[in-house]
Amino acid sequence: MKIGTLHRTLLTACTFGVAAACSLAVDADRTQCSKNADCLGRGGLSSKAICVAKVCTEPLATVVEEDAGADADAAPVDKTWGCLGNLPELPVEEPDVPVERYLRFSSIISTKPLVGLPVKACLVTDETCAQPYAGTPKETDAAGLLSVTLYSGFRGYFDITPAGDYANLMPAIYYVLPIPDKNYAVTADRSPSIALFTKNELEFAVASVGKALKEEYGHLIFGIMDCSPGLVADVVVRAEPISNQTFTFYTDGTGVPSITQSKTSQNGNGGFVNLPAGKVKMRATLESGRFVGERELLIRPGTITYLIFGPTKEP
């Protein structure tokens, strides 16, 4: 049987926000595409550009699959989970190779850009961000956009510690995913977008499912992606360690948080509220128990950790 190669993305930059009804959803006002074909020739992107969460973007990591032009008798490629067990190596850390990174910040309720918000880039080993990387903190511009120079293979996070006009926002940790790669250009018009909660908004969302925030704990909000890549249903996510105050939620098909669901809906979103401070391991599996991915994350008291998460190699 003739086998060729077709590169598919493992994980790309994705728009991740929170809608006004305290649900989790992608930003509707940034729609660029509904299918990969809509991205051809758009904004100087390559022929490999794909549609992720309604935004055209370049693939940032690839896996090898059967070529679409191979034997007609070839088994069809599983575009959702075909990459499991066949993932590429992560980009090598190259501190001397600069890579530009962008993020766009907005308010959860008004969706207005957060202008002048101070953001620090932090090495993954610097859990308090005592020594911010690359001349940060830097402030977001008039469009809520942050531009910062990291390096190829950077494994770290953005630290948002609101003050002044933004003192009512919840402090946040946003993990830098996909890992910056010198091989793929990322431009401002395809930057990930994150909508931040105030404490009152988070309290309202938690109260809507009959629960309450505990001051000494932190919280995690995630989006789960498949191999295609796209936000995906039917994934079970667990965290460890947890406390007797911790609860899991997934958003339903309309984006409303639910504590009775046992897996992601088609929007792929969910989270954990009241996690113990420190390092928490997040593990995603299919309902069958098949491994999807695992990641260790930093949780701080009174802080929301945000993560877009895709398949990883099984440890």
Q: Report yes or no: 148 and 136 within 8 Å, Cβ to Cβ.
A: yes
Token couple for 85? 């067990």
Per-residue pLDDT of the chain (315 residues; tens, 9 = 90+): 222 222 222 222 233 333 222 233 333 344 456 666 776 665 545 555 666 555 565 443 333 333 444 454 555 678 899 999 889 888 899 999 999 999 999 998 888 999 999 999 999 999 999 999 988 899 999 999 999 999 999 999 999 999 888 999 999 999 988 888 888 777 888 788 888 999 999 999 899 999 999 999 999 999 999 998 889 999 999 999 999 999 999 999 888 899 999 999 999 999 999 999 999 999 999 999 999 999 999 999 999 999 998 999 998
pLDDT of the residue at 4? 24
Which pLDDT belongs to residue 26?
34
What is the DSSP-derived secondary structure letter of residue 170?
P
- Give residue 134's domain range: 1-315
Whether omega for the bond prior to residue 178 falls within 30 degrees of 0, making it cis, is: yes
Which residues are CB-contacts of 15 (< 8 A; sequence separation ≥ 6)?
Answer: 26, 27, 30, 53, 54, 55, 192, 193
Q: CA-CA distance, 155 to 180, in Å (whole number)?
A: 8
Those residues whose C-beta lies under 8 Å from the C-beta of residue 213, and which sit 6 or more positions away, are 199, 202, 203, 206, 219, 273, 274
Report the C-alpha dihedral over residues 190, 272, 278, 104, rounded to 10 degrees.
20
H/E element, 202 = helix 199-207
Q: How many CB atoms lie within 10 A of CB 282?
A: 21
Tell me how far apart the alpha carbons of residues 195 and 304 are, in angstroms, rounded to a whole number.
12
Look at residue 193 in the predicted model and tell me its pLDDT. 83
* Domain count of the fold of the chain: 1
Q: Is 26 left (phi over 0), alpha (psi -120 to 50) or beta?
A: beta
What is the Cα–Cα distance from 100 to 188, expressed in whole angstroms? 9
Residue 148 β-bridge partners:
101
Specify the pLDDT at position 170.
Answer: 95
